[in-house]
């Protein structure tokens, strides 16, 4: 599973100091950048397959880097952040970052996120038409959802919601992204829609709606469709 090149953008030398040997041992090639400018230069010249980005950089805001990269590339971006910077994290996700991980984190958690993000890239490239998780099967061509072969009836909006989450399986999808894609930009802030619909959908697709295993809540950020791994 190796060969991927990961760019670590962080100005704290001690973070770089443990990420380099750890990611190298996990089979990735590591390149480092300490500032936003260095990061953008490295993205353009060293062609990384994934970026791990700290939001607090000495020369520019991490969000600026995300915005800049998204202007010309769909390169997966994982945000490193602290809990007290919730709103910046969500803003970065809304700008197109793929996932986030909170400091302090275990290396296993980080490598899992990296794998998901990289797989997602290949999946989108190949154009996925069928998704299966834990007995739940989604056929995007026929717009059919079945659980253990039994069809599940979803309203069109519910189906769109599930599809949006499933297409980004394993990654967090922000409230805003869900609302904009399912209900349209005018409803970007109508959080209560989501609460109601997610509740209904869980009732239909989860084995135990009170302990959801497929659609997980990321408090304050969004929802995550649990991928087919782990």
Partner 1 sequence: MADSDRHREKRADPDALLALAGKQERGRLTVFLGAAPGVGKTYAMLLRARRVKDDGGDILIGLVETHGRSETAALLEGLEMLPLRSIPYRGRAIEEFDLDAALERRPHTIVVDELAHTNAPESRHPKRYQDIDELLGAGINVWTALNIQHLESLSDVVTQITGVPVREQIPDTVLKKADEVLLVDLPPAELLERLKEGKVYLPANAARAADSFFRLGNLTALRDLALRRTADRVDDQMVDYLKQNAIEGPWPSAERLLVCIGPDALSEKVVRIASRLASGLNAHWIVASIEPVDRAVADQAGERRLDDTFRLAERLGAETRRVKGSDFVEEILRLARREHATQIVIGGRRQPFPWRLFRRSLPDALMEKASGIGVYVVTGDDTMPPPTTPVKQRPLALRLARDVGVALATVATATGFGLMIGEWVRLPNISIIFLLAVLVSAINSGYLAAVVAALGSAVAYNFFFIPPFYTLTIAEPHEVFALFVFLAAAMLTGGLTSRLREQAKVSGERSVTTQTLYDYSRKLSGTAKQDDVVWATVSQLQGALSRTVALLLPDQGELRLQASWPPDTELGVSDMAAARWTYEKSEEAGSGTGTLPNSAFRFIPLMSPHGVVGVCGIQQDGELLEGTEERMLNAILDQSAVAIDRARLSKESLRQATALEGERFRSALLASVSHDLKTPLATITGAITSLRELGDKMDKSSRDDLLVSIDEESARLSRFLANLLDMTRIESGSVEAKRDWVDISDVINSTVERSRKVFPGRAIEVQLEPELPLIRGDSVLLGQVLFNLIDNADKYGGAEPIRIYARRDRDEVTLSVVDMGKGIPEKDLEQVFEKFFRRGKPDGRAPGTGLGLPIARGFVEAMGGTIRAESPAQKRKGTRIILRFPVEHMPVEAETMS
Applying CB under 8 A, the residues found at the interface with partner 1 are 11-12, 14-15, 17-19, 21-22, 24-27, 54-59, 82-85, 103-108, 110-111
CA distance 163 to 128: 11
Shortest Å distance, C-beta 52 to partner 1: 12
Closer residue to partner 1 in complex, CB, 24/155: 24
Shortest Å distance, C-beta 32 to partner 1: 15
Shortest Å distance, C-beta 122 to partner 1: 23
Closer residue to partner 1 in complex, CB, 9/145: 9
- Residues in the chain, overall count: 230
CA distance 230 to 218: 18
Which letter does DSSP use for residue 83 in this model? G
Closer residue to partner 1 in complex, CB, 57/205: 57
Shortest Å distance, C-beta 114 to partner 1: 13
Give burial (CB, 10 Å; 0-12/13-18/19+) of 51: buried
CA distance 33 to 86: 24
Shortest Å distance, C-beta 82 to partner 1: 5
Closer residue to partner 1 in complex, CB, 14/210: 14
CA distance 41 to 38: 5
Instruction: Indicate the pairing of strand 5-9 with strand 29-33.
Output: parallel
CA distance 47 to 170: 24
Instruction: Give the Å distances, CA to CA, from 136 to 189, 205, 214, 228.
Output: 30, 7, 9, 10
Closer residue to partner 1 in complex, CB, 56/209: 56
Shortest Å distance, C-beta 30 to partner 1: 12
Closer residue to partner 1 in complex, CB, 8/161: 8
Among candidates 62, 169, 174, which has minimal Cα distance to 124?
169
């Amino acid at each position: 599973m190796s060969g991927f090149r990961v760019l670590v953008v962080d100005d704290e030398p001690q973070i770089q100091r443990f990420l380099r040997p750890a990611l190298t041992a996990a089979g990735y090639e590591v390149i480092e950048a300490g500032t936003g400018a260095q990061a953008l230069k490295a993205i353009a010249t060293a062609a990384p397959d994934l970026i791990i980005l700290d939001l607090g950089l000495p020369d520019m805001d991490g969000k600026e880097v995300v915005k800049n990269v998204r202007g010309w590339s769909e390169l997966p971006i994982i945000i490193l952040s602290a809990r007290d910077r919730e709103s910046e994290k969500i803003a970065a996700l809304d700008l197109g970052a793929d996932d986030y991980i909170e400091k302090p984190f275990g290396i296993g958690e980080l490598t899992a996120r990296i794998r998901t993000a990289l797989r997602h890239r290949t999946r989108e490239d190949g154009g996925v038409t069928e998704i299966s998780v834990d007995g739940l099967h989604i056929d995007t061509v026929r717009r059919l959802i079945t659980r253990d072969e039994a069809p599940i009836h979803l309203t069109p909006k519910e189906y769109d919601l599930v599809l949006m989450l499933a297409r980004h399986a394993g990654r967090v999808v922000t409230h805003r992204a869900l609302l904009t894609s399912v209900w349209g930009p005018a409803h970007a802030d109508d959080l209560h829609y989501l609460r109601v619909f997610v509740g209904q959908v869980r009732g239909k697709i989860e084995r135990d709606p009170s302990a959801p295993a497929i659609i997980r809540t990321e408090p304050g950020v969004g929802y995550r469709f649990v991928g087919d791994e782990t």
